[in-house]
Amino acid sequence: MELLTEEILYQKSSQELTALLYEGIMTNLEESIELINAKNFIEANKKLQKANDILERLGVGLKYEAGPIAEQFDTLYNYMASQIIEANLRKDQQLIKNVLQLIQPIAEAWNEIVRKQVHTQSGNTKKVLAYENSIMRKNY
Q: pLDDT by residue (tens digit) across 53-85?
A: 999 999 999 999 989 999 999 999 999 999 999
Q: Whole-angstrom Cα distance, residue 81 to residue 109? A: 20
In a domain, 29, yes or no: yes
State the Cα–Cα distance between residues 86 and 66, nearest whole angstrom.
30
65: DSSP letter: G
Domain that holds residue 67: 6-112
Structural domain total, the chain: 1
Taking the mean position of all CA atoms in its chain, how far away is CA 8? 16
The pTM of the full predicted model, rounded to 2 decimals, is 0.79
* Residue 121 lies inside a defined structural domain of this protein: no
- 127 in any annotated domain: no
CATH number at residue 30: 1.20.120.340
Name the DSSP letter for residue 61. Answer: T
pLDDT band at 123 (very low <50, low <70, confident <90, very high): low
**48 located within any domain:** yes
Does residue 117 lie in a domain region?
no
Q: Are the C-beta atoms of 121 and 109 separated by less than 8 Å?
A: no
85 occurs within a structural domain: yes
- At residue 63's C-alpha, the angle toward residues 60 and 68, to 5°, is 115
